[in-house]
Structure 1
Amino acid sequence: MAVLEVNGLKKVYTTRFGGSRVQALTNVTFAVERGEYVAIMGESGSGKTTLLNILAALDRPTEGEVFLNGRALSTIGEKEIASFRRQNLGFVFQDFNLLDTFTLQDNIFLPLVLAGKHFPEMQAKLLPLAQQLGIAELLQKYPYEVSGGQKQRAAVARALITSPQILLADEPTGALDSRASDSLLSLFGEINRAGQTILMVTHSTKAASHAGRVLFIKDGVVFHQIYRGGSTNEEMFHRISDTLTAMAAGA
């Protein structure tokens, strides 16, 4: 069953004084099944960030529609959109987006605080999640006191604590060293195998090779896609590399 349906998305930006129009997305159509792990790749300027912003209900398409669990995002009013986003979507960003004046625990609690949840309920959700992510001993530390990999794990906990329909990750390994990246990608695999739907935008061939499906965006359209099937991560890596080479060559 599709948790996310994207139908005929088009996005056109007009410059400040209306002098020119830039078409970021042309006709993007795809679906994400519940429990899938999908990576989106493409060169800078290909439209993948615009696409992610629309999927996150942070931007509206010029044409087309996005459905989350059958509900059209265009039908959600401005007063409701923040609550809808908080209840249904989890976000992991390249630069963590943690508040330095909050402990890791308070950063993780933030979406539940905004939703009006009580401390006992928040604590009950946090403890098993912190154990799973390996940050239970760090909860009273501040972001500036922990490593980049530990910050990203706290950001993942914050994204997951609301039990989102989809985890949206924007270049989640972009600010991490290779060891922390490997650890995070392993963690994403565990989370996905437990049933969490993940949609990740990345430039990293290695990161994308961990996904079950890879969508390639070029010039605002879905250029190609690869399904894992029985491929290993190494085989996926080579298939993705070959596709990126073909895209760069204009094939």
Structure 2
Amino acid sequence: MSLLEVKNLKKVYTTRFGGNQVQALKNVNFSVEEGEYVAIMGESGSGKTTLLNILASLDRPTSGEVLLNGKSMNKVREKELAAFRRENLGFVFQDFNLLDTFSLEDNIYLPLVLSGKSHEEMVRRITPLARKLKIQDILKKYPYEVSGGQKQRAAAARALITDPQIVLADEPTGALDSRAAEKMLNLFSQVNREGQTILMVTHSTMAASHAGRVLFIKDGEVFHQIYRGTMRNEEMFASITQALTVLSSGGEQDA
């Protein structure tokens, strides 16, 4: 059984004025195995952000379902969603979503505090994680006192500290310079090699080239996918670039 299964997913929005309907997702089907690193790409308006919001249980599909470890997210009641997300999902956002009035350490601790973990348990978890992410010396600093790359590593620590079943990343390198982005992508690759499942939405070909598989969304459907196989990052980059060219030109590509 796959860790994440997306079945016949459709999402239709009704506009506020006139009652017009916009179909953001038509019929999306794919699965993610435990330990995979999957990137999702597509042009603006292709439906990838809507898809990510549904996977994050921040939005509900019009029809179809998402199963995480065999459990349908559709069946999680509204009042249980926050706890479900906290216990099963880790999030890394483009704009970090750190609280400026909290130190980096307290930002990282936040999901554990909300889960009622003891301080001893929080310290036990953060120590090796901070060392791995090379932020152990800045934990007492506040977000406005550190660089963008350091903020994103703290955000990654917050996502990983709960040992989530899957990390959902939304343009995680979008606010970083090229050097910080490369460090972040190397970190993602490292934690993926250690067994963490990652699903990342990105516009960046460089970011996607680090993934093991890339799904391309077009007009609300999965249009094409690339498996890394034995390809190096440079070869993966070239394959993604070629697929994006076909995607933008409206040509056909076998999935």
> TM-score when scaled to structure 1?
0.99
Within 5 Å, give how 1:80-229 maps onto structure 2: 80-229=80-229
Q: Distance in 2 between matches of 1:18 and 1:105?
A: 48
Q: Distance in 1 between matches of 2:93 and 2:198?
A: 13
Amino acid at match of 1:199: L
Amino acid at match of 1:159: A
Amino acid at match of 1:40: I
Within 5 Å, give how 1:65-80 maps onto structure 2: 65-80=65-80
Q: Distance in 2 between matches of 1:210 and 1:226?
A: 12
User: What percent identity do the matched residue pairs reach?
Assistant: 73
Amino acid at match of 2:27: N
Amino acid at match of 2:230: G
Identify the residue that residue 50 of structure 1 maps to in structure 2. Answer: 50
Identify the residue that residue 24 of structure 1 maps to in structure 2. Answer: 24
Q: Distance in 1 between matches of 2:90 and 2:206?
A: 22
Note the residue ranges of structure 2 that are not aligned, 5 or more in a row.
Answer: none
- Kindly state the Cα deviation for residue 18 of structure 1 after the two structures are TM-superposed: 4.7
| Partner deviation per Cα, 1:39-93 (whole Å, 9 max, x = no partner) | 0000000000000000000000001000000000011001111000000000000
Q: Distance in 1 between matches of 2:2 and 2:139?
A: 35
Query: How many residues were matched structurally?
Result: 251
Amino acid at match of 1:149: G
Note the residue ranges of structure 1 that are not aligned, 5 or more in a row.
Answer: none
Amino acid at match of 1:179: R
> TM-score when scaled to structure 2?
0.98
Runs of 4+ in 1 over 4 A off after TM superposition: none
**SS of corresponding position for 2:3:** strand
